[in-house]
Structures are given as C-alpha cells and as structure tokens.
Amino acid sequence: MEAKHGMAGGARSPRSGFEVRSAVEIGVYLRTAVRGIGWVVAGLVLGLALAAGFLWVKPPVYTATASVNVNVITVDPFDSAQSASGLLDPPTEASIATSYRVAQAAAARLADGTTADELRATVTARPIADATILRISSSGPSAERARRQADVLAEEYLRYRQDQAVQRQEAILGSIESSLSELEAELARATTEEQRSAIRTEIDGLRSRRNDLLNLDTTGGSVIDPALAGDVEVAPSSMLVLASGAAAGAVLGLLVAFVSQALRRRVHNADDVTTALGPGLVVGRRRRAAGESAPVEDLRLVRDRAMVAAETLTEPLRRVTVVDQSGAAYPSGVALTLAHVLTQRLRGASVVVLGLDAARRSAVVEALELGGAPDGPLTSPLLPGVEVRLPLASEGADEPDPVLTAQATRLLSSSGKPHVLVVPPSSTESSRAAAGLRSDIVTVVVQRDSTRRRDLVALREDLDAVGSEVAAVLLVPPAARETAPDTDDTDDADETADADETGDADETGGASAPSSPAPDDRAGEVARSAVRDRDAVDQRSR
C-alpha cells in the first residue's frame, strides 16, 4: 500500500508529525473549553458559593495601626552626643506596649466587655529602626472596633510611660529633699569654715539636681498617626477570597469538561474523530438535528477528498473502501449513498457490499429494487449505470475470512472494473486489515452518539498495520430518537456490545457472522435522494 502512494494518505501537512499533532491538540483543547462553558460557569458559581460560605463561617479580621512618637525622658533630651533613638531600647518599648498592664488599662477604658487577655491577644507593636516611632496594631471584628482599640492602646501605652516617669521623678525628688534636710542640719552643727564650705557645695549640687528633675519632661510621647485616620487591613480579603473561589471553581469546571470529554465513550463531535483517526479528515462538522440525512454537499466533499488522495497514487485508482462505523443497522443508508456518490468519479465502478447474511441481502435487494442473477451483478433503476455485488458472509472453515470470503476475493481479483467496497462495523481486525490492504483509498462513516471511540482507534491501528490511511470521514447526525441505537455508556452495555461484536472471535481466532437486525429502512429513500443529488451535481459541474 505504501508503494502506491507518493505521500501516504494523500494530502498531509508538510510539517512534522509532532507539530501537526500539537496544533491539533491545542485546537481540540480550545474547542473543548468552549463547549464546556456550562461546566465552567457551574464551577464558577460553586466556587463563589463556597467562598461566600467560608467568609460566613470565618468572618474577616480587621487590623488598624496607630503610630506614636516615643518621648525620650531625660534631663538633657537635646544632648548632641547621642541621638534620641539611641537612648531608647526598642524591644523594651515593644514589650511595654503589649504588656498586660497596658492592656488592662485599655480594656477598662474601652468598657465594652473586652477583657485584658482578649485585648492583649490582638495587639502587636513594631518599632521603626533608627527612629523613635512605635507602631501599635490591634485587630477586631470590625474596622471601627480595631481603630478604637489601637488608638486606646497607644494612648494607654504613653500614659503608662508617663506614670512610670513621674513615679521615678517623685521618688528621686523625695530622696533629694531628705538629703538636703540632713545636710542643712549638719551645716548648722559645723564648727569650722572648711566643714561649712564642703556642706554648702554638696547642698548646691543637690539643689541643682532637684531643679533639673523639676524641669524634666515626663510626657510619654504623642500619637502622630491615629488609627482612626489610617487605613485598615482586612484578612482574609473578601474580594480576594471571592476571586480565588471563582477562579478555582472555573478551573474545576474546565477540568470536569476535559475529563467528561476524555471519558465519553461515544463519538459526540468532530474532535472525538480527530483524536482517534487524525487531523483534517472530518466532513460534516456542523451540527444537525437527530435523524437528519447527510447533505449532498458533505457526500460530495468526502468524494472529492478521496479523489485528491488518489492523485498521490502511483497506479490507477481501483478500489475505494467505505467502512460503515455509523452504529446503525448494516448497511446504513448513508454508507450506501456514499458508495454510490463515490462511483460518480469512478466510471464503470461497481458497489460491493461485504458482510451480508441472507436476511440482510434480501432486505438490501428489496430496498434498492435490485434485479439480476443471484450470483451475478445486480442493477437497479435507482442506481443507473452502477453494478451492485452482494457476496454473502460465511463462517466456513475453508473461508479465508468471514467477510472477505473466497467469493468476494475472486470477485475483486477477477473483475477489471474499479470497486467501491462497503465494510460492516462488526468486521474483525483481520477483515478490516484485509479490506484496507486491498483498497487504494479508505473512507469512514461515523454517527454522532452511536459510534464508539475505541472502535475508531482500533480501525486506525488495523489500517496502520497494513500501511493504509483514512482519506476522509463523514460525520452524520445521530439517529432519530425512535430508531436511535442504545447509547447507554454503562459498563454492562459496552461489555454486551463487545461480546456481540468481538468477544468469541478473539478467543477462537475466527469471527462470528454479523448479527441480523433489520436493515436501515431509509436505504431505498436515501438511494433515490442520492440519484437526484448526483444529477444536480453533474449539472452544476457542466
């Protein structure tokens, strides 16, 4: 098969397989995301609902900050020998601001039921490096409460520092006054001028120190940025939580869309076919109503793609295969119609429908109004100029294949005319491979919501094994509801289908004959429609 083609499979991209596959996968992902917009919206709504529930269970915490300028309490605050920040111990000041004494005083002033322990648990203090600034923060269930707590804590911290400074000042002044009283008594008892001079010097020193202490600024500091005028931090941020919930929900919805696409067992859209058989093959991407016939434009396009692929053949086109994977009763009307349309570019070609049992053969003969010898070519007024061959399937031990029987093989080998083969979906791996090996061009009929994706993958593997490639895929609408096949994707349904189609065959090495459901009742109607469409196409071509 490979020797017949200048480029396998007809029109292929000159890019590498990796580039083509990457481009196809990106397109599939984008279309899957667009089709899964419902899942994305549902996930977004769910994410918002969960985020709102989180905010309800765990309300946001508001944190306000007050900045204070800590006063350096010293008798010479303007001493240029050392900066004011160098006279402070930042860790000590932070510990004082977060101490129980300060929290207790603030709780008493707030008088809103908050205990000192509760208030202390909400406060933090952060000194600014190389400065006399201390930032005191407090958290609360509301912005107003957080602001009030921070301001009160800052004020009580400064009051505590002032109280401590005043207490130390008073203690030192008391000690100085006591010392002065004792020195004045000694001065009165002194008998020599030398003694009196020394006592006076000591008294002058104590009086000078007392004056310095009396002039000492014991103010603890000042609030330079009250929390009431500042911004409030919110944790967690309501907008951030809602945005995160919405984003996570949307991503979850997108993942569900991709997972549902990957787990779907039946062909639902063109991307399912592309993933299984390859890019650039699908005809009939536009969605149509269930039960609607494939339009003649799609049939024509499949035929034209097959002819384009035939241009790469190094030998004349002799055989075209239509693999009927529609999932409908075999042979489906659309597969017969496609075979008929393909003969329009293969003058003198005959249609060979493989894999028929006696009941199906009789139904096809009646539906297409075929006449002629049972073992010879059949003709129909519905298909002028086209011979139809209907070799029977057989499970005989002397048969090379249940579908490509000895009769069918002789027919394809002896006749000098081109053939369009119609292959049933129930054919085994060997049957599909043999049909592909005997064909120059392969086309496939796929039906939405009926054809199983793994069947297409198996078909591709069978054709790859013999060097054949699919030239075009006709994607047809799903069957009408009243005649639609069972599309239940449960394990039991698929296992039953597998047992009917391939279960016994795989174990014994043979294949069971196709089951005999009633053929597609639309076969005759579709064939008549194809005749009219063919005439219309021919007139347009002229």
Average pLDDT over residues 323-328: 80
Average pLDDT over residues 361-367: 87
pLDDT bucket at 298, cuts 50 / 70 / 90: confident
Sole residue written with tokens 């992902």:
29
Average pLDDT over residues 79-92: 74
Q: Greater confidence, 493 or 431? A: 431
pLDDT of residue 80: 53
What burial class does residue 99 get, using C-beta atoms within 10 Å of its C-beta: 0-12 exposed, 13-18 middle, 19+ buried?
Answer: middle
pLDDT of residue 541: 45
Give CA–CA dist 290/251, Å, rounded. 32
Give CA–CA dist 8/291, Å, rounded. 35
Number of residues in the chain:
542
pLDDT of residue 137: 96
Q: How far is CA 226 from CA 105, 142, 155, 477, in A?
A: 18, 17, 10, 72
Q: Which residues contact 27 (CB under 8 A, 6 or more apart)?
A: 271
Average pLDDT over residues 63-74: 90
Q: Greater confidence, 232 or 525? A: 232
Domain ranges (residues) in the chain: 13-60+236-263, 74-230, 267-494+513-541
Query: C-alpha 288: how far from its chain's center?
Result: 28
pLDDT bucket at 97, cuts 50 / 70 / 90: very high
Per DSSP (E only), the strands in 230-382 are: 232-235, 282-283, 319-325, 350-353, 378-380
pLDDT bucket at 191, cuts 50 / 70 / 90: confident
Is the pLDDT reported for residue 193 higher than 50?
Answer: yes
DSSP states of 69-137: EE----S-TT-TTS-TGGGS-HHHHHHHHTSHHHHHHHHHHH-SS--HHHHHTTEEEEEPTTSSEEEEE
Of the candidate ranges 85-89, 378-382, 387-391, 397-401, the one whose mean pLDDT is the lowest: 397-401
Sole residue written with tokens 């293969």:
346
Structure-derived torsion over alpha carbons of residues 333, 335, 338, 342, reported in degrees to the nearest 10 = -130
Give CA–CA dist 289/301, Å, rounded. 20
Give CA–CA dist 509/385, Å, rounded. 40
Q: Which two tokens stand for residue 272?
A: 């399912």
Q: Alpha-carbon Rg of the chain, whole angstroms?
A: 47
Average pLDDT over residues 9-18: 40
Would you call the peptide bond into 236 cis, given omega within 30 degrees of 0 as the criterion?
Answer: yes
Is the pLDDT reported for residue 503 higher than 70?
Answer: no
Is the pLDDT reported for residue 245 higher than 90?
Answer: yes
Give CA–CA dist 239/164, Å, rounded. 45
Of the candidate ranges 18-32, 40-54, 99-113, 454-468, the one whose mean pLDDT is the lowest: 18-32
Helices (H) and strands (E) in the chain, counts: 18, 13
Per DSSP (E only), the strands in 207-361 are: 221-225, 232-235, 282-283, 319-325, 350-353
Contact 24, 274 (CB under 8 A): yes
Q: Which two tokens stand for residue 313?
A: 């053949």
Is the pLDDT reported for residue 98 higher than 80?
Answer: yes
Of the candidate ranges 66-80, 125-139, 485-499, 516-530, the one whose mean pLDDT is the lowest: 485-499
Sole residue written with tokens 């017949």:
4
pLDDT above 70 covers a percentage of the chain that reads: 75
Average pLDDT over residues 54-66: 91
Amino acid identity for residue 100 in this structure: Y
Amino acid identity for residue 212 in this structure: D
Q: How far apart are the first and last CA of the chain?
A: 34
Cβ count near 323 (within 10 Å) = 28
Most confident of 167-181, 259-273, 336-350: 167-181
Q: Which CATH number fits domain 267-494+513-541: 1.10.3470, 3.40.1350, 3.40.50, 3.30.310?
A: 3.40.50
Is the pLDDT reported for residue 256 higher than 70?
Answer: yes
DSSP states of 371-422: BS-TTS-EEETTEEEEEEE-PBP---TT-S-SSS-HHHHHHHHH--S-EEEE
- With a threshold of 0.75, does the pTM exceed it? no
